[in-house]
Amino acid sequence: MDAAERMRAALPVMLRDIETLVTCESPSSDLAAVARSADAVARLGVERLGVEPERVVVDGRTHLRWRFGDGPRRVLVVGHHDTVWPLGTLMTHPFTVDGGVLRGPGCFDMKAGLVLAMHALAALPDRSGVTLLVTGDEEIGSPTSRALVEAEAAGCAAALVLEASAGGGALKLERKGVSRYGVRVRGRAAHAGLEPELGVNATVELAHQVLAVAALADPGRGTTVTPTLMSAGSSANTVPALGEVAVDVRARDAAEQRRVDAAMRALRPVLAGAGVEVSGGPNRPPLPGSASAALFERASAVAAALGLPPLSGVAVGGGSDGNFTAGVGTPTLDGLGAVGGGAHADDEHVLVAELAPRAALVAALVADLLTGDGP
């Protein structure tokens, strides 16, 4: 039985495994829920792979690592088990499989991808050289797992990221780098009716800063600079003394990321007596197309050998742990997880018919990378 046939035969088990993970809710913000989810992922890994994972707990957050011995080449398979969905979401978004479509919170991003990874690795006769790393904080920027991801990726022949695919099952060949900032403005409070002239209006200063920040975007280079959350003031009849705005930055290359970072740190107040403080900075380096090109060609050849449709690839604005693996110089291929749509949205779903072919592709690609030459 070849890999594709084995995956088709395993489809009912895959569906049960996805249900197991989806029905164990794991919002990134809830450490207890993330710990319960890690237990569920660990049990599933033992069932499918026959090996207990190493639990890496950082600041109370649980990450899982399976290392399958030494081999002439090392391949890292990466995923995460935390989601953006709060506890209780299953009450309104239950796990269902209907009409060839699987639904449930976190199914597409990315619990189905974890199941695909486990079934793909289980199909390999020899997993020597493979590491499977499942983190628990990707959705909040990987604050406790970044160093772990980078350390595991360093020296690997390839990193395969089982994040959800792009539209139509496309792989993610480029990801923008991500930076996040907080701009805090200090003014001076005064009575808005009696003596507003004695105040320094933090809302007005914040408006100046928001416009200055937004002007840093460069659509021609694919750089977006987006003010998001904003607040100022304490009451309707008081000149605001404090204000703040969060800023999301996405850039295709490191030079643009540095340009925006320098400009953010150079922000100065416009109003006399106001103050401006900038916090934050780059969170994820870009994943450039050069990090994925050779692996994409290799995956395309593997797909053709399996009789699968030709692969496609796109550039996306969202970040993943693939940004970190590429950042340490490891060839990286992202978006190898489930085919579907609706990540972080009410219509999150997975196409059941694509699960077995995708798992077969991952299994064959890992096997090829372990035995072949080059990335």
Of the candidates 339, 367, 344, the residue with the CA atom closest to the CA atom of residue 116: 339
Where does residue 229 rank: exposed (0-12), middle (13-18), buried (19+ CB within 10 A)? exposed
User: To which H or E segment does residue 108 belong?
Assistant: none
- What φ, ψ does residue 110 adopt, rounded to 5°? -145, 45
* 72 neighbors 307 (Cβ within 8 angstroms): no
Residue 333 DSSP SS3:
strand
**Rounded Cα–Cα distance for residues 135 and 144 (Å):** 9
Q: Which structure tokens are listed for 335?
A: 């978006």
Size of the chain in residues: 375
* 367 neighbors 306 (Cβ within 8 angstroms): no
- Non-local CB neighbours of 215 within 8 Å, separated by 6+ positions: none
Q: Which residues are catalytic?
A: 82, 138
Q: Which structure tokens are listed for 343?
A: 């990540």
- Non-local CB neighbours of 67 within 8 Å, separated by 6+ positions: 54, 130, 131
Q: What is the 8-class DSSP label of residue 3?
A: H
End-to-end CA distance of the chain: 27
Nearest-5° Cα angle at 157, 152 to 162: 65
